[in-house]
Amino acid sequence: MARVFITGSADGLGRLAARRLVGSGHDVFLHARSAARARAAAAAVPGAHGVLVGDLSSIAETHGLAEQANGVGPFDAVVHNAGIGYREPRRETVDGVEHVFAVNVLAPYLLTALVRRPSRLVYLSSGMHRSGVPDLGDLQWRRRPWSGAQAYADSKLLDVVLAFAVARRWREVRSNAVEPGWVPTRMGGPGAPDDLAQGAETQAWLAVSDDAGARMTGGLFFHRRAREAHPLASDIAFQDGLLRACEELTGARLEPTQAGTASPE
């Protein structure tokens, strides 16, 4: 039995993954951005051990969420599922950070840096990550003309970059990304053609399964199968550039593994 924390689990893929894990006997903690959504999440996933609350668009609230997680942890797995979509206008958070980047990239980075290291980390990406062209010099979209779809694609590529960077730096942690497909969530819309259940299943599988495939690290998965990622995700200089940018914005450093720490078997 594993202890799992899933961000953005009040609805969509996160809620489905939580239900699957609870149904398999695992201890699951949910996440919602507000107290009202937390009550709805708890009602939607009977058997969950609790709901942690924090708005991921706020650096301060994300710090608070990490403190809550450490208070009820440690966790065997953390699933960074929360995210916002491609129809967003450009707007800035209370911290002056562009909203899509703040929620989709900066929040999982900060939680990764602050929450006690689990054995497994799962980051939610998208097939749109292959269209990503992120600019480390303009992550906030202050110079470029705004495109919600491009900002989203960039953020999903950056999520894979983060997953791969963590896998390289933390050799004792299995860190992977998931491409769920175009699925009929609130973000994807009712006409989305891919299998919603498979998208959620892959997150749950990577979080707890002893299958050989789920015990990999530094991979991108679609429906339980490894898939080739955008080449930039494996670019070490780009990985380090993203980590530096996130550290500058948050003040939190992703500390490397100490020498001599064993890799996952």
Domain count, the chain: 1
Domain contains 263? no
Q: Specify if 225 maps to a domain.
A: yes
Confidence of residue 59 (pLDDT cuts 50, 70, 90): very high
Query: Residue 32 has what pLDDT?
Result: 97
Residue 24 pLDDT exceeds 60:
yes
Judge contact between 58 and 34, C-beta under 8 A.
no
What pLDDT was estimated at residue 87?
87
Which of the residue ranges 185-194, 208-217, 223-232, 244-253 would you say has the lowest mean pLDDT? 185-194
Q: Quick check: is 90 in a domain?
A: yes
Band (pLDDT 50/70/90 cuts) for residue 192 is low
Lookup: tokens for 45:
């996933």
pLDDT of residue 261: 58
Is residue 242 classed as helix, strand or coil in its secondary structure? Answer: helix
Residue range 97-149, pLDDT digits in tens = 999 999 999 999 999 999 999 999 999 999 999 999 999 999 999 999 999 99
pLDDT single digits (tens) 61-104: 999 999 999 999 899 999 999 999 888 999 999 999 999 999 99
Calculate mean pLDDT across residues 17-37. 97
Burial of residue 99, with CB atoms counted within 10 A of its CB: 0-12 exposed, 13-18 middle, 19 or more buried: middle
Domain membership flag for residue 106:
yes
Rounded to two decimals, the pTM is 0.93
Residue 200 maps to a domain = yes
| 233 closest CA partner among 181, 166, 158 | 158
Catalytic residue check, 152: yes
Is 24 among the domain residues? yes
**When comparing pLDDT for 76 and 200, which is higher?**
76
- Asked, for residue 23, whether it belongs to a domain, the answer is yes
Mean pLDDT value across residues 41-61: 97
Cα distance between residue 217 and residue 122, in whole Å: 10
Contact 73, 4 (CB under 8 A): no
How many Å apart are CA 114 and CA 180, to the nearest integer? Answer: 26
Q: What's 167's domain CATH number?
A: 3.40.50.720
Is the pLDDT reported for residue 161 higher than 70? yes
Q: What is the DSSP letter of 103?
A: I
Report, as an integer, the average pLDDT of 220-229. Answer: 95
| Residue 263 pLDDT grade (very low, low, confident, very high; cuts 50, 70, 90) | low
Mean pLDDT, the chain, rounded, equals 93
- Asked about 109 being catalytic, the answer comes back as no
Residue 258 lies in a domain: no
Instruction: Give CA 58 to chain center in angstroms.
Output: 16
Q: Which two tokens stand for residue 167?
A: 């896998």
CB within 8 A of 210, min separation 6: which ones? none
Q: What does the pLDDT average to over 165-188? A: 83
Domain that includes residue 165, residue range: 3-250
Single out the catalytic residue among 86, 109, 123, 152.
Answer: 152
Residue 199's pLDDT is 78
pLDDT above 80 for 264:
no
Question: What local confidence, expressed as pLDDT, does residue 259 receive?
Answer: 54
Q: How far is CA 244 from CA 97, 106, 124, 212, 227, in A?
A: 16, 11, 21, 33, 27
